[in-house]
Amino acid sequence: MATSPLSLVLLSLFLSLSLHAQAQAPAAPAPAPSGPVNFTAVLVKGGQFVTFISLLNKTQTFNQIENQINSSSEGMTIFAPTDNAFSNLKSGALNGLSQQQQVQLLQYHMLPKFYSLSNLLLVSNPVPTQASGQEGVWGLNFTGQSNQVNVSTGLVEVQVNNALRQDFPLAVYPVDKVLLPEELFGVKPPSASPPAPATKGSSSGKSNSSDTAAEPSPGKNSAGGRNVALGLIFGLGFVSVGILS
């Protein structure tokens, strides 16, 4: 019995189904491992992360993070920019980013490993972030001594003083600046064309984050992809039932 291309297709579809099932896990009451962490609650309790929370929500990054925190054996470290940090950004800095780039910016604030404050001094720089693995480094550098740690992106350096939470599997450290990666905010080669010009040029005075709410299709791609995958799976399910019977 040769391994037919069809079985390979079925196998990969099965794998992608399990991935999708995982991604949808929040609907099911997970059989709690060692006490799952409610990352949203940690931030809400912090009281000064309204912008960060709404960005995580808008880009649908929350599920991915909580899933990873609940399932990773390494834990996670997150640098949470305060509302103050976001309001100190140049106006339009966020709105100039595409949805994908906003996700990258958020992922850049996360390390796929739990670090206590003192362990941040033992890392070897640059430390990969959740955004690493794409073109560019997307790393963070940590320097300092004793209880004083600085994190640097090359464009921005800020102190990491206190932890909002520092219990495995999740460490959350507030930062007073948004960590701007060189990959998004560094000097671009002259050939790169500027981001799409804003159509509403008159809104310079009030560039609130709600401006981006009008941007089209935030989550449509993934939902569409899921539907296609499910359709294929059902279709092939029928095919294989046909073969077996």
Find the binding residues for ligand NAG in span 63-92 (CB under 6 A): 63, 66-67, 70
Rounded Cα–Cα distance for residues 163 and 139 (Å): 21
Min dist CB 244 to ligand NAG, Å, is 34
Min dist CB 227 to ligand NAG, Å, is 19
Find the binding residues for ligand NAG in span 111-140 (CB under 6 A): 125-126
4 is an interface residue for ligand NAG by CB under 6 A: no
**Radius of gyration in angstroms for the set of CA atoms belonging to the chain, rounded to a whole number:** 21
Count of alpha carbons within 13 angstroms of residue 91, beta-carbon side: 10
Q: Which residues contact 52 (CB under 8 A, 6 or more apart)?
A: 43, 80, 81, 82, 83, 86
Rounded Cα–Cα distance for residues 228 and 210 (Å): 31
Q: Which of 157, 225, 235, 238 binds ligand NAG (CB under 6 A)?
A: 157
Rounded Cα–Cα distance for residues 48 and 81 (Å): 9
48 is an interface residue for ligand NAG by CB under 6 A: no
183 is an interface residue for ligand NAG by CB under 6 A: no
44 is an interface residue for ligand NAG by CB under 6 A: yes
Q: Are 56 and 80 in contact (CB under 8 A)?
A: no
Structure tokens at 200: 């509403």
Rounded Cα–Cα distance for residues 167 and 1 (Å): 52
Q: Which of 26, 47, 133, 231 binds ligand NAG (CB under 6 A)?
A: 26
Q: Which is nearer to ligand NAG, 26 or 231 (CB)?
A: 26
Positions in the binding site for ligand NAG (CB under 6 A): 25-26, 30, 36-38, 40-41, 44, 53-54, 57, 63, 66-67, 70, 125-126, 141, 143-144, 148, 150, 152, 154, 157-159, 206, 208
